Amino acid sequence: MAKILSGKEVSARIKGELKIEAEKLKESGIMPGLAVIIVGDDPASRVYVNNKKKACEEIGIHSEEYALPADTDEAELLALIDRLNGEKSISGILVQLPLPKGIDEEKVINRIDPQKDVDAFHPVNVGKIMVGNYDFVPCTPAGIMELIAESGIDISGKECVVVGRSNIVGKPMSMLLLHQNGTVTVCHSRTKDLKEVTRRADILVVAVGRPNFVTGDMIKEGAVVIDVGINRMADKKLTGDVDFETAEKVASAITPVPGGVGPMTIAMLMKNTLKAAVINKEDN
């Protein structure tokens, strides 16, 4: 039976540490603040935004929510970002993705001041991650790195397989693993014989967006399995991209869904917001 890597527990510990850090920052006159922009009424996005606001409250970070209607035009959204870029009380800006059709996501991300880009999606921050000298680490991959550390496995020299190559998860994940000296393979929808590749992995990260996609027979005995997927099923239950039941019999450690990567992502967002508060203060 695999060890369960509980993101819920680890994130609670991290948030406790961040709360103390936030208090210290405030005592020294640095006031962290996060602006969260949500456009439209996607129910999953609404849940994520609520969780982020809740985490800010827990840690003592000032937060502002900007909920815009689905028919908001791009210029209006860009103007809001411009305003928040100049706002001293706001250290981090997050635009909840996906955006409604008709709004150019890339243009929106590019408009956020890289020093306030707590999601680390701006090309400047993406480039810094590539080079290995970065301030902000994208939240989901950063949270996964913490969970892998928790598993006690040293990444150096290990076969790491990432299934999925999105800008949000797969690509930055592969970079972070590479920086820790993993031997990294990135798979995607055109990968031939996926099972042959995933079975080589000592560390397997799955971010595909398909419920129960990776099954136990695709996993090497003793592998660390990180399930990024969040899929809402017809019965409203959340399920991952990994078939937990068969996978946990083979893996040495595995993340559950829910309670695995999800809460870690939010904890890392809080960490980035505190970092942004320090960076922006230094520049003022």
Nearer to ligand NDP, 209 or 216 (CB): 209
For residue 63, the minimal CB distance to ligand NDP (Å) is 18
Pick from 157, 139, 190: nearest CA to 36: 139
Nearer to ligand NDP, 33 or 229 (CB): 229
Encoding tokens for residue 263? 């809460």
66 contacts: CB under 8 Å, gap ≥ 6: 35, 36, 37, 38, 80
- What are the residues binding ligand NDP (CB under 6 A)? 140, 163-166, 168-170, 187-191, 194, 207-209, 228-231, 261-262, 265
For residue 167, the minimal CB distance to ligand NDP (Å) is 8
Alpha carbon distance 246, 262 (integer Å): 21
For residue 231, the minimal CB distance to ligand NDP (Å) is 6
Nearer to ligand NDP, 81 or 206 (CB): 206
Encoding tokens for residue 55? 């985490």
Listed in order, strand segments (DSSP E) in 78-150 are 92-95
Q: What are the DSSP calls for 157-185, one per residue?
A: T-EEEEE---TTTHHHHHHHHHHTT-EEE
Which residue among the candidates 113, 117, 119, 243 is catalytic per the annotation? 119
**Amino acid at residue number 79:** A
Encoding tokens for residue 77? 């959204």
In terms of C-beta density within 10 A (0-12 exposed, 13-18 middle, 19 or more buried), how is residue 224 classed? buried
Pick from 135, 134, 133, 130: nearest CA to 275: 135
How many CB atoms neighbour CB 255 within 10 A? 32
Nearer to ligand NDP, 33 or 170 (CB): 170
Which residue among the candidates 15, 52, 171, 220 is catalytic per the annotation? 52
For residue 7, the minimal CB distance to ligand NDP (Å) is 8
Indicate if 42 belongs to the active site: no
Indicate if 96 belongs to the active site: yes
Indicate if 119 belongs to the active site: yes
Q: Which residues pair with 68 in a beta bridge?
A: 39
Q: Which residues pair with 36 in a beta bridge?
A: 65, 94
Nearer to ligand NDP, 166 or 185 (CB): 166
Which residue among the candidates 15, 96, 116, 220 is catalytic per the annotation? 96
For residue 48, the minimal CB distance to ligand NDP (Å) is 8
Computed on alpha carbons and rounded to an integer, the radius of gyration of the chain in Å comes to: 19
Catalytic residues: 52, 96, 119
